[in-house]
Amino acid sequence: MDFKKIIDKVSNVWKNIASKANYLSVIDWLSGAKSIGVIWHDKIDGDSLGSVLAMQRWIKNKFPNKKIKAYTNRKYPSVFEFLNPEIEYWENLEIDEDTDLLIILDSANLERLGDLYKNNKKKIDKTSKINIDHHISNDKFWDINIVDWQSPATAQIVYEILKILDVHPMAQMNTLKNGIDDKVALYLLMGILTDTQNFMIPLATDKTLEVAANLIKLWADKQLLINNIFLNKKPEELKLQWLVLDRIKKFEENGVKCYWSYYNQEDLEKLGLDPADSWVGRSLVSILNQISDADFVCLWKLLDDETTVSFRSKAYDVNALAQKLWGGGHKNAAGVKFDKKISIQEIEKMLQKVI
Ligand SMILES: [Mn+2]
């Protein structure tokens, strides 16, 4: 073990003590609220959905008399249907007027909430907010901010919080029920598996594996998640993979090596895949990241009215790069969304600008 690792361990102990105080304040806010809303960023992934469902169910278990609702403006990707998620979604969704506390999960800022924020700006601005997140780009300006960019998933932070609150006298007062039941554990494990790409990213540490082990001990069904999320592709999705791999291009600028590829609306329609389903094609950028000499890779999803690009790296800071294009995320995984179609010809020009 080198010296730096020892220093990191010691500073983590201090950090844990400091964050515990912050965790405990969450219970005061929860106890004081009558109607709670849980919201998250508009591109629903396994971590945001898992964190939301876990938080919602834990509050229901521990505070059965409180009203709690999870809201989103976008339908969750169909891959998560096996969970039968209990969330409210439709376009122009309005947050209930009686909501007196909002828990915002896995969202770096209010703009990331997308249309949900646009439609409910007044309500969201005036309501108390708890911010739980792991994006390095998080604004941290809400009433309570529990932000740890060293955590590989928001679900890992939610677990740390719920583990402490579970045995808090105020939570025990309401019910003797175990707040983290098998379903809460399942949702949290889903967040960790999906955001860490099954523990592959550098931020997945011994602590992450320990949390995952604890969740499995609490009866999270790991195999149910693996079979439904990772081993559940339609043949057409593998054909899309073939297209993406066939189109790989190398781009080098200032000594930085990038490999990129794309797929577009036409590809998806030809294959009978739903362009609105944000999960389709999602794992493909990780395959590009297998290229050994890539400093970073990116995959462009070119839809008729919207373009999203996902960046991945092994060490290169793609968050900094994405921020130059008004996006963000994490050091090794980041993304940008444009509200317009971008042509293939424009891609390298954009890359040239930001490298
Ligand atoms: Mn996340």
Q: How confident is the model over 294-313, as pLDDT tens digits?
A: 999 999 999 999 999 999 99
CA of 176 to the centre of ligand 1 (A): 31
CA of 121 to the centre of ligand 1 (A): 23
CA of 191 to the centre of ligand 1 (A): 7
Please give the CATH number for the structural domain made up of 3-229: 3.90.1640.10
Q: Are 279 and 77 contacting, i.e. CB atoms less than 8 angstroms apart?
A: yes
Query: What's the rounded Cα separation, in Å, for the pair 183 and 136?
Result: 29
CA of 314 to the centre of ligand 1 (A): 17
- Strand order from edge to edge, sheet including 256-264: 249-253, 256-264, 296-302, 307-313, 333-338, 328-329
CA of 276 to the centre of ligand 1 (A): 20
CA of 96 to the centre of ligand 1 (A): 26
Radius of gyration of the chain (CA): 20
Structure tokens at 78: 């169909």
**According to the model, what pLDDT value does residue 91 have?**
67
Q: Are 307 and 107 contacting, i.e. CB atoms less than 8 angstroms apart?
A: no
CA of 47 to the centre of ligand 1 (A): 5
The secondary structure of 107-166 as a DSSP string is -SSGGGGTHHHHHTHHHHHHSEEEEEE--TT----SSEEEE-TTSS-HHHHHHHHHHHHH
Strand partners, 334: 311, 329
Q: Are 64 and 48 contacting, i.e. CB atoms less than 8 angstroms apart?
A: no
CA of 187 to the centre of ligand 1 (A): 13
CA of 331 to the centre of ligand 1 (A): 12
* Distance, first Cα to last Cα, the chain: 34
**According to the model, what pLDDT value does residue 304 have?**
93
CA of 153 to the centre of ligand 1 (A): 5
CA of 324 to the centre of ligand 1 (A): 20
The stretches in the chain having pLDDT less than 70 are 1, 13-14, 17-18, 91-92
CA of 345 to the centre of ligand 1 (A): 31
CA of 195 to the centre of ligand 1 (A): 6
Query: What's the rounded Cα separation, in Å, for the pair 34 and 27?
Result: 13
**According to the model, what pLDDT value does residue 225 have?**
98
Query: What's the rounded Cα separation, in Å, for the pair 90 and 103?
Result: 19
Beta strand pairing status for 249-253 and 101-105?
unpaired
Query: What's the rounded Cα separation, in Å, for the pair 307 and 280?
Result: 14
Which amino acid, one-letter code, is at 272? G
3-state secondary structure of 167: coil
CA of 33 to the centre of ligand 1 (A): 26
CA of 106 to the centre of ligand 1 (A): 5
CA of 51 to the centre of ligand 1 (A): 9
CA of 46 to the centre of ligand 1 (A): 8
**According to the model, what pLDDT value does residue 60 have?**
94
Beta strand pairing status for 307-313 and 296-302?
antiparallel
Query: What's the rounded Cα separation, in Å, for the pair 244 and 251?
Result: 16
CA of 347 to the centre of ligand 1 (A): 26
CA of 174 to the centre of ligand 1 (A): 30
**According to the model, what pLDDT value does residue 17 have?**
67
CA of 154 to the centre of ligand 1 (A): 5
CA of 134 to the centre of ligand 1 (A): 6
Instruction: Measure Cα distances from 10 to 15, 16, 203 in Å.
Output: 9, 10, 17
Strand partners, 35: 67
CA of 164 to the centre of ligand 1 (A): 21
Helix (H) or strand (E) holding 103: strand 101-105
Tell me the pTM: 0.90
**Alpha carbon 26 to chain centroid distance?**
21
Query: Any idea where the domains of the chain sit in the sequence?
Result: 3-229, 235-354
**According to the model, what pLDDT value does residue 151 have?**
95
Structure tokens at 126: 């005036």
Domain 3-229 identical in fold to domain 235-354: no
CATH classification number, 235-354, choose in 3.30.420.80, 3.20.20.10, 2.60.40.1180, 3.10.310.30: 3.10.310.30
